[in-house]
Amino acid sequence: MSLDSEWRNFLLNENLDEKTIFTYIQGLQEIISNLKPRTVSEKRRLQLARQHIREVRKYARRMLNENMDLQEKLKLLEENKGEE
């Protein structure tokens, strides 16, 4: 299976083994940690990639928290609508 199809399945929530964005982030971190830079420029690129992964993880957590908050608000609104 290609990365594009895995990502598409993730976005469409069609993943059968319940992968999360954090699973993909961890996989990318492992790949980056196993790379051995041969030049200074490669070393800098890997450092930048690590920094980007940290930022992606931070934003993913923020989005997950916002999503949970919105789901909770939606649930409350649906309960209130059902009571009327």
Report pLDDT digits (tens) over 43-80.
999 999 999 999 999 999 999 999 999 999 999 999 88
C-alpha separations of 55 from 24, 36, 42, 51 in Å: 14, 22, 20, 6
**CA separation (Å) from 47 to 22, 32, 37, 40, 50?**
20, 9, 10, 11, 5
pLDDT at residue 33 is higher than 60:
yes
11-27 confidence digits (pLDDT tens): 676 555 557 889 999 99
Q: Where would I find the H helices in 1-84?
A: 3-11, 21-34, 40-83
Q: What pLDDT is stored for residue 20 in this prediction?
A: 85
